[in-house]
Structure 1
């Protein structure tokens, strides 16, 4: 009542009549002001902080120094030149059905690209498949499995998927079992580890010979809280590097069953600690190994075909079928070579009107395209099939990135011309997705 009389006396309606007027009007205003301040404070202190990059730090001091630092007297399982990362490629392939060893077309793209760009001494497939199942797949497996296993240098290596850590924590997910196996394989033999969705786009020999014991790359992220981490899908290391020794020992200590703890988070923490030691870890820009993120919008940008773009006639890239010439790496390179003149010629071509589609990405600074593909079924506008027909059409960024390796396979006779002609007659199908577009 006192507030109402004061308002009427001064002739100024400080508050509108209604729920803020009357006996409790001033108290309600104060309460509303306090609530607004608390809400803004919560947003700036908590929500904004949650969106900032946060790299977890792990207690590594408990690790035995003899296990992780004094590796000078440890003999690697494979001889190598001290200052060079060995030219071995490693894949991990665990079976859900122990009787079936089957590799799909995207896996063929990864392994074939590694074969032609890296020219490795060996391509290891670390698998829990029995030797008899593996050998049977060579002759009686499906088409892309047989083509992969026929590549030069493919080397079978039997592994046992770990059921638990050294501390007894159960390792339940197949992806987590593969995390431990990749570290062990790279630590013991050295070389290049690739996820099966990571596709090489150019040679990495000068990175192997850079003098660093390990080479890693960052990750691209659309959301701020995902920035600053390392990519564990493409790794390079000498045998028994400090990074791999510590990573393996620490993984057994910190693994908690969470998706990223002992893989991405631990790897990132270790890399940031070891970069201060000369020659230990070379960290590359995210575009080197992972130019797109795992987030949905980036996956759509990479994989979704632009059906309004005229499909490529793959045969126009080929010489006469009866006199196929050997494909060369020079004509395959994304960016057309490695010299300054090559780079400038490539940029000049891209800048000419009509030479490049408006949606087309530039992978000229990418060594390996880690093509996260988990959300493909959620995309509308196509049939979600990443197959030979899809790549030959060259209507997506992914297809254009991997097309040179497919062209090489065609010229080498790994993919027959008859199969190419058959695929030319079909088109990528416009089809609704299971979820969002």
Structure 2
């Protein structure tokens, strides 16, 4: 199925302005406000389309415009494919503990089934060979053990948290080997082939509609990328208290400085819905049988994804912890939530 760049979710800037004026009228002159409000309300009634519950307050609107930019459309459609594509090798890193769980299984299984990589490498710092989820996957993946104390002694000495070491490790792996890096809570939904042949060195997706950050939960890169090298070098000045600066904010700053090296994709490709409480509830709260049927039909129409241009869904495991802690294969199959409907095909 052809994949398009027009996204069915977009928030008109006019309705956001309307909400702003309603709640903070002192920010604009009174006379201009009346004219602006009338125009904004008229336009918003005609152009807003949101596949979320339709009953909510204007203050809940995201101040984002989700229309793909011209550059994002060109990167996604890739009209000038390179002769040497990014390696179709998936890298995933699990250094948190020795046990895989249902969510990590879904992430690996979906990558195998949707991307169909030439190889999937699971980089780890020690895993339980008897883990039931690992046993289901072990014949389809390549296990790559790492000794964090040997490879990252300074980071260990400086008391880096394991997720930050994993941030550094993914960049080192991609610079050395190239390929597709995926976090262990990323659900792959469609083939990546057409963006692997981008003429640019690196592919990243915007985390939010404001385009202020490029998230490192999904990274596609050629080996030896100068952009990845620069990103690695920034960790020489890493500050542990700045949780997402190096992983989201700094990558955007580097991209703005080296636009010819990075293919930036709209939020809908990897990172929509977001990590906000409202979006987490949207994905994980129970829905009716009819809503589940409608949602499944939408997924089928989009070739396995929620939206026409979506390739993966970052499941935001930390904000959604309370849901994933309770999730079992039986619950996934029997309870209708949007997340469960989306991923059921990856559970035998």
**TM-score of the superposition, structure 1-length normalised?**
0.55
Shift of 1:291: 0.9
Q: Does 1:335 align with 2:315?
A: no
Please show how residues 11-410 of structure 1 align to structure 2 within 5 Å.
83-96=84-97, 101-129=98-126, 134=127, 137-138=128-129, 141-150=130-139, 152-160=140-148, 162-164=152-154, 170-220=158-208, 228-275=212-259, 277=260, 280-306=261-287, 308-309=288-289, 334-335=300-301, 337=303, 362-376=306-320, 385-393=326-334, 395-406=336-347
Q: Report the counterpart of residue 433 of structure 1 in structure 2.
A: none
Q: Report the counterpart of residue 59 of structure 2 in structure 1.
A: none
Aligned partners of 1:159 and 1:114: how far apart in 2? 25
Aligned partners of 1:169 and 1:243: how far apart in 2? 27
Q: 1:297 to 1:83 in 2, by over 3 A?
A: same
Confirm or deny: 8 A CA contact 1:216 1:231 kept in the other structure: yes
Q: Report the counterpart of residue 51 of structure 2 in structure 1.
A: none
- Deviation per CA, 1:256-292: give whole Å up to 9, x if none: 54201222121111122221x2xx2111110001111
Aligned partners of 1:363 and 1:384: how far apart in 2? 27
SS at match of 1:193: strand
Query: How many pairs are equivalent?
Result: 268
Shift of 1:145: 2.1
Larger proportion of helix: 2
**TM-score of the superposition, structure 2-length normalised?**
0.68
Aligned partners of 1:156 and 1:378: how far apart in 2? 30
Q: Report the counterpart of residue 34 of structure 1 in structure 2.
A: none
Q: CA RMSD in A?
A: 3.4
Confirm or deny: 8 A CA contact 2:212 2:249 kept in the other structure: no
Shift of 1:304: 1.7
Confirm or deny: 8 A CA contact 1:113 1:201 kept in the other structure: yes
SS at match of 1:85: coil
Q: Report the counterpart of residue 427 of structure 1 in structure 2.
A: none
Where does the alignment leave 5 or more consecutive residues of structure 1 unmatched? 1-39, 42-50, 54-80, 318-330, 339-360, 407-414, 416-437
Aligned partners of 1:366 and 1:257: how far apart in 2? 32
Confirm or deny: 8 A CA contact 1:217 1:230 kept in the other structure: yes
Select the structure of larger CA radius of gyration: 1
SS at match of 2:148: coil
Confirm or deny: 8 A CA contact 1:106 1:197 kept in the other structure: yes
Q: 1:124 to 1:171 in 2, by over 3 A?
A: farther
